[in-house]
Amino acid sequence: MRPARALIDLDALRSNYRLARELGGGRKTLAAIKADAYGHGAVACARALQDEAADAFGVACIEEALELREAGITTPIVLLEGFFDADELPLIVQHDLWFAVAAPWQVDAVAAFQTTATLSIWLKLDSGMHRLGLSPADFRAAHARLCALPQVGPMVLMSHMARADELDSPRTREQAAIFAAAIDGLAGETSLCNSPALLGWPDVRSDWVRPGLMLYGANPLPVASMATERLRPVMTMESKIFAERWIEAGEPVGYGARFVAEERTRVGVVALGYADGYPQFAPNGTPVQIDGQPGRVIGRVSMDMLTVDLTDLPQAGIGSTVTLWGASPRLDVLAPLCGVSAYQLPCGVKRVPRRFLHA
Ligand SMILES: Cc1ncc(COP(=O)(O)O)c(C=O)c1O
């Protein structure tokens, strides 16, 4: 059997969730498990976080919510982008889902929807990201209109931070101030903080926090802190060496001869490539661990394989375990070296079987 696999440490996930809750001051903590829990497996992650009595889960669409409900997840689930079509509203009621209302047409659709159920709405303000959310000019009127509808229950007032990972940008405080002004005097709990806001902006808080990336153990900030040092990587991407050879100085390795040996070099071939989610353009020298020792990628990553330097690792060879990311190298260290983000890498994991630890 092909040895590539992704180990998912659910204890680490629970520990990161507890850290997020602590940083949020013990407030309600929605775990963002959209996109299959950022590639970690939404159902298994939801089950693990139910052990921590997670307050809610955040997903991108009703399909993701239904997968969780069908797996028996009873925790509240928020559709973070709301519905894409008013036709979804009956299903939302049937499965007791909470949902964002983030555009004027969604307000109209809710107003037109007849139901005896009580809808749980997260009303979203555009506080400056200019992607989703009602403008400050429309927000209060929408709030008043929805409050007056018999089918609408207590609302959560939310917004999303665009630049909380930039610790020297004034934008996060500006967005927080715009949010505070827009919701002033309105009834409803509030929700503002994603992972970078939780880790980087301790004085920006709300009733609900909404961590995503940090739950998976990656630091979204460009610097480490005492809090980020407590994050535990959840995914370990690993495979094994299944071929090796010596090449002479001056000989190339792989497509495009991107690596040319400066001295006699022992090359190991690892059963994992870009079709599994490893970055195709990881440069020569990208760190890996080989049987727990530091190693490096040499040559361009292929679809199903990549090549590593074994010259200084005489004990390593066929059957050696190669860690592409995990405790070392960490996702948040590897990703920038490859010109991608720590968000993108696990979301792109494909084909590799997942093995869940500490379920
Ligand atoms: C509305 C919303 N809240 C929270 C999150 C979680 O963000 P992060 O992964 O940066 O913590 C996301 C993710 O993009 C989101 O869209």
Tens of pLDDT, residues 92-102:
999 999 999 99
pTM (2 d.p.): 0.97
Look up residue 230 and give its DSSP letter. G
> Regarding the domain delimited by 235-357, which CATH topology (the fold level of the hierarchy) does it fall under?
Lyase, Ornithine Decarboxylase; Chain A, domain 1 (2.40.37)
Atom number of ligand 1 nearest to Cα 124:
1
With a pLDDT cut of 70, the percent of the chain lying above it is: 100
Q: How far is CA 38 from CA 41, 45, 208, in A?
A: 8, 10, 20
What DSSP letter does each residue of 125-176 carry, written as one string?
Answer: E-SS--SSSB-HHHHHHHHHHHHTSTTB-PPEEEE--SSTT-TT-THHHHHH
Confidence category of residue 227, pLDDT binned at 50, 70, 90: very high
Angstrom distances, CA of residue 109 to CA of 81, 104, 147: 14, 9, 14
Q: How much distance in Å is there from the Cα of 147 to the middle of ligand 1? A: 26
User: How far apart are alpha carbons 102 and 170 in whole angstroms?
Assistant: 24
pLDDT in tens, 177-207: 999 999 999 999 999 999 999 999 999 999 9
For domain 10-217, the CATH architecture is: Alpha-Beta Barrel (3.20)
CA 196–ligand 1 middle distance (angstroms): 9
pLDDT of residue 237: 98
Per-residue model confidence (pLDDT) at position 353: 98
Known catalytic residues are 34, 255
The pLDDT score that the predictor gives to residue 30 is 98
The pLDDT, as a whole number, for residue 63 is 98
Q: pLDDT confidence of 287, banded at 50, 70, 90?
A: very high
Torsion region of 26: left, alpha or beta (phi above 0 gives left; psi -120 to 50 gives alpha):
left
Instruction: State in Å: Cα 315 to ligand 1 middle.
Output: 43
Q: Two tokens at 51?
A: 């052990």
Best probe residue, ligand 1, of 40, 101, 160, 345 (max atoms within 8 Å of C-beta): 160
The reported pLDDT for the residue numbered 4 is 98
Task: Average the pLDDT over 284-294 and give the result.
Answer: 98
Q: Which atom number of ligand 1 is nearest to the Cα of residue 38?
A: 9
**What does DSSP say about strands 321-325 and 235-247: parallel, antiparallel, or unpaired?**
antiparallel
Q: What digits encode the pLDDT tens for the residues 295-315?
A: 999 999 999 999 999 999 999
The first and second tokens of residue 138, run together, are: 């429309």
Q: CA angle, 184 as apex, 17 and 28 as ends, to 5°?
A: 15
Confidence of residue 228 (pLDDT cuts 50, 70, 90): very high
Q: What is the pLDDT of residues 27-82, one digit of tens each?
A: 999 999 999 999 999 999 999 999 899 999 999 999 999 999 999 999 999 999 99
Band (pLDDT 50/70/90 cuts) for residue 144 is: very high
pLDDT in tens, 100-125: 999 999 999 999 999 999 999 999 99
Q: According to the model, what pLDDT value does residue 142 have?
A: 98
Count CA atoms closer than 13 A to 196's CA, side-chain side.
19
Residue 159's closest CA among 197, 187, 185, 213? 197
Q: In this structure, what token pair is assigned to residue 345?
A: 């890498």
The residue extents of the domains of the chain are: 10-217, 235-357
Ligand 1 mean position, distance from CA 194 (Å): 5
Instruction: Provide the pLDDT for residue 114.
Output: 96
- Site residues for ligand 1, CB cut-off 6 Å: 32, 58, 80, 160, 194-196, 210-213, 220
Q: Which position has the token pair 């590799």?
A: 352
Which atom of ligand 1 is found nearest the CA of 164? 10
Q: What is the mean pLDDT of residues 225-246?
A: 98
